[in-house]
Amino acid sequence: MCLPMKKRQSKIDPVTGGSDIRPPVLWDSLMKKQAFENFIYGVFLLLGLITVGCVLLITVYLIISGIPAIREIGLFKFLFGKTWASTAKTPQFGILPFILTSIYGTAGAIALGVPIGFLTAVYLAKAAPPKVKAVVSAAVSVLAGIPSVVYGLVGMLVLVPGIRSIFHVPDGASLLAAIVVLAVMILPSIVNVSITALEAVPQEYEDASLALGATPTETYFRVSVPAARSGIAAAVVLGVGRAIGEAMAVMMVSGNVANMPSLFQSVRFLTTAVASEMSYSSGLQRQALFSIALVLYLFILLINAALNFFLKRSKEA
Amino acid sequence: MQPGISKKRRAYILLMRILMWLSVALTAGLVLFLVTYVMAKGLPEISWNLLTTKPSYLSGNIGILPDILNTVYIIIAALIFVIPLGAGAAVYLNEYARNKKLVAVIEYAAETLSGIPSIIYGLVGMLFFCSFLDMQTSLLAGALTLVIMNLPTVLRTTQESLKTVPQSYREGAFGLGAGKWRVIRTVVLPGCVDGIITGCILSVGRILGESAALLFTAGFAHAVHGFFEGLNSAGATLTVALYVYAKEQGEFGVAFAIAAILMVLTLLIQLAAMLVGRYFKKRRDL
C-alpha cells in the first residue's frame, strides 16, 4: 500500500511478482504511476520537514549572529555586567539588568496571574453552571485575542498614571506596571490549559471523594486539583514563556531605561532591550543586541523543555 | 450544607468559594472593562476621513487607509504561503510518515516554533529575509516571517481534523484501486477543510495582533500601494501604526481609534471561529 518503500519495490516487482513475463503496457503505466507517487511523497516529506528547517534556521541564525559580540565582550562581562551603556564613548555591554528584570517581571506576573487564573479555571471546569461557563470562557478567549499593543495602550493611559497617583512616585512607567500588564496577558493561557487538565480528571476520583463525605468544594481542591497537577504546572510554565517573550506591551509601560530592577523604577526587559535599540544600532552595539536575543532564545528553549516534560507527564497520568 | 461538618471545614469551604468567585469576577470584569474602555475611547475618534485618507505632514492630516491596506495585504500574503505549508506538513505527519522518531522530531519542532517569542521571529526575519535574501524591509518579508510563526497553528488544526477522517474512507478508496495521492486529494483533504479553515481564522487573528515581529521586517511607512507593489515596499500594519502613534508621536486619539478597530475585528474573529467550529461539528454529527 505504501509505495515509497523503495527497498521492497526493488526486490519484488509489483506487477509480475518476480517472474520474467511482463505485460508491457500495464507495466509502463504502473511504473509511471509509481514514479508520480514517489514524487508526491517527496513533496509532502519536504513540507513535513519545513518546521524542522525553520527551527534550525532560527537557531543557526541566532547563534551565528549572537556569538561574535559575546566573544568580543567576554561571556562573564556580558552576562553579569551591571551597566548597559551602548552609545557611551566607552560603551559597556552588561545585560544583568535585563536578565534580572525579565526574571523578576515574569515572577511577578506569575505570582499575580497564576492564583487568579487557577481559581478561575477550577470554578469554570468544576463548579460553574453551564451558562456562566460559556460566557466566562468566551470572555477569556477574547482576552487571549486582544493584540499586545492594545494592552500596552490601555496600560499607558490607565495603569501608569494610576500607579503614579496611588504610590506617589514621579513616573508610573515601571516594573510594577509591566508586571500587572503581563499578569493580565498570561491569564488566558493559564485558565485554558488548567481547564483542560482539570476536565481530564476521571469522574471516579471525584465520585469516590464525594461518597466518602467530602463536600464538592473540598473535592475540587483536595482531589481534582492534585490529580491535575502536571497539567496545571504546564499551564504555569506556558505562562512563564508568554511573559518572558512579550515585547510590545511591556515596552509601552515599563519606561525602557536600563536600570537594575526595582518595583517603581523604569526598567528594560530582554525583549525590549532588543526592540528599542535595533532600529538605530550598528557595529558592536547591533551584534550585542543579537547576543541578547540569543540569551532570550536559550531561556525559551529551557522553558519549552520544561513545558514538554509537564505535558507528557500529565498525559501519562 | 450538610450538618456535622466541623467549623474548620466550613471556614475552608467558604474561603475557597469566595476566592473562586472573586477570581472569576475579576477575570470577567477585566474583559468587560478592557472592551468598554477601548470602545468608549476609540469609537468616537473613528471618522470617514480617518479611514479613507493617508497621513500627510504638510496638511497635518492623519489617516489610516495605508495601514488598513497593509494589514489586508500581509494577511493575504501570509495565508497564501502558510496554508499549503502547514496543511502539507499535517498530511505528511498523518498520512505518509511511518518513522516514529521523525514524527516526534517534527512535532517537537512545531511545539518549539509556537513557543518562540515574536521579537525573535522579527529579528531572524530581518536577518534572513531582509538581509540574506535581500528583500529589504518590505511587507513580503514581514508576511514570510509571519508564515513561520503561524505554521504550527495551521499544522496543528489540520492534524486534529485529519485524525477525525474515518480510516474506513481511506480503505474504501484504496480498495477501489485509487493511488495514495488520489486518496489524499479526493478523500482526505476534503475531510480536513474544517481544520484548515480554523487554522486560517486563528492565523488571521494572530497576524492582526502581531507587532513585534513586523517592526523590523515590514517597517513603518504609510504609503498607499496596490497589492504587488505594496508587497515589495515597506509599510506599517494597524498594530505597528498604533504603537508608533501612541509611543513615538503621542497621538492617543488615533491610537484608540485603531485599538477600537482591532478590538472589533478580534471579537468578529472570535465569533467566526466559534461559528465555524459549531457548523462543522453539526455537519460531522449528521
Q: Are residues B72 and B207 in the same domain?
A: yes
Please indicate if any CB of chain B lies within 8 Å of the CB of A116. Answer: yes
Q: Are residues B17 and B56 in the same domain?
A: no
**Domains of chain A and CATH, by start:** 6-73 (no CATH), 84-316 (1.10.3720.10)
The mean predicted confidence, pLDDT, of chain B is 86
Q: Do A296 and B211 touch (CB under 8 A)?
A: no
Q: Note whether residue B254 is domain-resident.
A: yes
CB contact burial B197-215 (16+ within 10 A = b; e otherwise): bbbbbbbbbbbbbbbbbbb
Please indicate if any CB of chain B lies within 8 Å of the CB of A244. Answer: yes
pLDDT of residue A310: 86
Distance of alpha carbon A9 from alpha carbon A11, whole angstroms: 5
CB contact burial B19-36 (16+ within 10 A = b; e otherwise): bbeebbeebbebbeebbe
Q: Chain centroid to CA A117: how far?
A: 17
Q: Are residues B77 and B30 in the same domain?
A: no
Q: Do A218 and B13 touch (CB under 8 A)?
A: yes
Domain interval for residue B260: 49-285
Cβ-Cβ contacts under 8 Å, B274 against chain A: 138
For A45, which of B19, B92, B215 is closest by C-beta distance? B92
Q: Which residues contact residue B70 at a Cβ distance below 8 angstroms, ignoring those fewer than 6 apart?
A: B139, B218, B230, B235, B236, B237, B238
CB contact burial B263-283 (16+ within 10 A = b; e otherwise): bbbbbebbebbeeeeeebeee
For B259, which of A139, A153, A158 is closest by C-beta distance? A153
Q: Are residues B15 and B127 in the same domain?
A: no
Distance from CA of A303 to the nearest CA of B (A): 9
What average pLDDT does range B218-246 have in this prediction? Answer: 81
Confidence of residue A13 (pLDDT cuts 50, 70, 90): low
User: Would you say how long chain A is, in residues?
Assistant: 317
Q: Are residues B186 and B98 in the same domain?
A: yes
Residue B266 grid coordinates: 478580534
Q: Note whether residue B66 is domain-resident.
A: yes
| Low-confidence winner among A7-11, A206-210, B273-277 (lowest mean pLDDT) | A7-11
Q: Do A149 and B119 touch (CB under 8 A)?
A: no
Domain of residue B191, CATH code:
1.10.3720.10
Q: Note whether residue B229 is domain-resident.
A: yes
Please indicate if any CB of chain A lies within 8 Å of the CB of B196. Answer: no
Q: Which amino acid is at A64?
A: I
- Angle at which helix A175-199 crosses helix A130-145, to 10 degrees, equals 140
**pLDDT tens readout for residues B78-133:** 999 999 999 999 989 888 888 888 888 998 899 888 889 999 998 888 888 888 88
Choose between A116 and B1: higher pLDDT. A116
Domains in chain B: how many in total? 2
Q: Is the pLDDT of residue B240 over 70?
A: yes
Q: Are residues B253 and B143 in the same domain?
A: yes
Contacting A residues, span 74-93, partner chain B, CB-CB under 8 Å: none
Please indicate if any CB of chain A lies within 8 Å of the CB of B131. Answer: no
**pLDDT tens readout for residues A107-123:** 999 999 999 999 999 99
Q: Note whether residue B71 is domain-resident.
A: yes
pLDDT of residue A21: 60
Contacting A residues, span 139-198, partner chain B, CB-CB under 8 Å: 139-143, 145-150, 152-154, 156-158, 184, 187, 191
For B31, which of A48, A142, A293 is closest by C-beta distance? A142
Q: Note whether residue B21 is domain-resident.
A: yes
Q: Are residues B175 and B251 in the same domain?
A: yes
**A92 SS3 class:** strand
Q: Quick one: closest CA in B to A300, which residue? A: B116
Interface size A-B, in CB pairs within 8 Å, comes to 254
Q: Note whether residue B1 is domain-resident.
A: no
Q: Are residues B73 and B202 in the same domain?
A: yes
Please indicate if any CB of chain A lies within 8 Å of the CB of B199. Answer: no
Q: Do A215 and B263 touch (CB under 8 A)?
A: no
Q: Are residues B187 and B59 in the same domain?
A: yes
For A217, which of B16, B111, B211 is closest by C-beta distance? B16
Q: Are residues B62 and B181 in the same domain?
A: yes
Confidence of residue A23 (pLDDT cuts 50, 70, 90): low
Q: Which amino acid is at A269?
A: F
Please indicate if any CB of chain B lies within 8 Å of the CB of A308. Answer: yes
Q: Note whether residue B19 is domain-resident.
A: yes
Q: Are residues B25 and B141 in the same domain?
A: no
Q: Are residues B11 and B131 in the same domain?
A: no
What element of type H or E holds A85?
strand A84-85
Q: Note whether residue B28 is domain-resident.
A: yes
